[in-house]
């Protein structure tokens, strides 16, 4: 039996795990990333955690075939670099693959975090047996990964599958990526919470003559309690809260638009919805499926199955480790 280390680098927290060849997690940990300390300090800290996890699993250094390192993009995979990640301020053209390889003394493969999560679902989750798969991870933003013929789709510039930055509203809300109207500004978990909070405040802003409500705000009743998560909003929507119902349904409609576009672009067998929003279960799936059916073409019956991802927050580390197995083999 051989083993790999999976690392899923995030702007706030980083997940690490030792994974066996059956894609089972032996040991794992989540630690603060602290990107402000700089790439070398972060890599040094993650190396210490990874080595501790290997020891905790009662393994020797030689039992580990390699490390899969999943990071936010955009990336230059050939050079092993993070080009410029929006949630890692100051990390420009950072050779993270080589920094980690030199520090940990093992071969390292680099992958976009959305792609790693998609590969994890493909190899050990809700995408098993599905050679054409798209995964949308609905959390702080909208991450994504595309599997075509059982392999991660990278594209010519190494950044295929950035579906969270698909434009769904022309001249819409500004996105940190520099575009306007990106899917993640309307259908991520964070975006939904922000929109509900903004809409609940609209009546207060209308009471002043000099401050008009935002053009995107609704003049609906305010929520009884401030929502904390997208799942809170889904439940409030089913309990009759008008603001939450409006925002949740619109988010599901934008996701459906994305799914129809994905259908035409990639023609996958299955689209998986993961991340924090997926905890809403059927409260998410049912309206998304309904909106897809109402918007999809009628020329051909090629709608993908739309269902929930299975691995939750472990998808990235499992996928990263699986990519290390693919890249470096097993002993």
Per-residue pLDDT of the chain (331 residues; tens, 9 = 90+): 699 999 999 988 999 999 999 999 999 999 999 999 999 999 999 999 999 999 999 999 999 999 999 998 899 999 999 998 877 889 999 999 999 999 999 999 999 999 999 999 999 999 999 999 999 999 888 999 999 999 999 999 999 999 999 999 999 999 988 999 999 999 999 999 998 988 766 544 443 333 333 333 333 344 445 667 888 899 899 999 999 999 999 999 999 999 999 999 999 999 999 988 998 999 999 999 999 999 888 888 888 999 999 999 999 999 999 999 999 975 4
What's the longest Cα–Cα distance across the chain?
A: 72
Q: Nearest-CA neighbor of 141 among 274, 284, 279? A: 274
Closest CA relative to residue 69, chosen from 26, 113, 103, 35: 113
- 129-310: same fold as 3-121+313-328? yes
Any idea what the Cα angle at residue 241 is, between residues 236 and 243, rounded to 5°?
105
| Angle CA 81–87–88, to nearest 5 | 50
How much is the pLDDT for 226?
62
Number of Cβ within a 10 Å radius of residue 256: 23
CATH topology of domain 129-310: Nucleotidyltransferase; domain 5 (3.30.420)
User: Encoding tokens for residue 141?
Assistant: 């933003």
Domain boundaries, the chain: 3-121+313-328, 129-310
pLDDT given for residue 177 in this prediction: 86
* Distance (Å, whole) CA 9 – CA 286: 32
- pTM above 0.85? yes
Domain 3-121+313-328: homologous superfamily in CATH: ATPase, nucleotide binding domain (3.30.420.40)
**DSSP conformation letters of 264-275:** HHH--SEEEEES
């Amino acid at each position: 039996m051989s083993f790999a280390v999976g690392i899923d680098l995030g702007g706030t927290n980083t997940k690490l795990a030792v994974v066996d060849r059956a894609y089972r997690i032996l040991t794992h940990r989540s630690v603060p990333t602290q990107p402000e300390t700089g790439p070398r300090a972060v890599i040094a800290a993650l190396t210490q955690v990874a080595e501790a996890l290997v020891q905790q699993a009662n393994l020797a250094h030689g039992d580990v075939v390699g490390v899969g390192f999943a990071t936010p993009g955009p990336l230059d995979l050939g050079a092993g670099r993070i080009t410029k990640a929006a949630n890692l301020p100051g990390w420009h053209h950072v050779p993270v693959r080589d920094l980690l390889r030199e520090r940990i003394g093992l071969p390292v493969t680099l992958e976009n975090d959305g792609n790693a999560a998609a590969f994890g679902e493909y190899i050990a989750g809700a995408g098993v047996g599905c050679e054409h798969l798209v995964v949308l991870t609905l959390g702080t933003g909208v991450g994504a990964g595309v599997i075509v013929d059982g392999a991660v789709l990278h594209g010519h510039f190494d950044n295929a599958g950035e579906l969270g930055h698909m434009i769904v509203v022309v001249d819409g809300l500004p996105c940190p990526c520099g575009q306007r109207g990106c899917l993640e500004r309307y259908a991520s978990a964070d975006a939904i919470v922000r929109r509900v909070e903004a809409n609940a405040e609209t009546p207060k802003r209308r009471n002043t003559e000099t401050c008009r409500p935002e053009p995107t705000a609704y003049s609906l009743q305010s929520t009884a309690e401030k929502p904390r998560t997208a799942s809170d909003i889904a439940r409030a929507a089913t309990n009759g809260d008008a603001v939450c119902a409006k925002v949740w349904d619109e988010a599901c409609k934008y996701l459906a638009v994305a799914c129809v576009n994905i259908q035409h672009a990639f023609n996958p067998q299955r689209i998986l919805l993961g991340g924090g929003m997926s905890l809403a279960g059927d409260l998410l799936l049912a309206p998304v499926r309904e909106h897809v059916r109402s918007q999809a073409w009628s020329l051909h019956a090629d709608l993908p199955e739309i269902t929930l991802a299975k691995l939750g927050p472990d998808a990235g580390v499992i996928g990263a480790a699986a990519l290390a197995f693919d890249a470096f083999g097993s002993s």
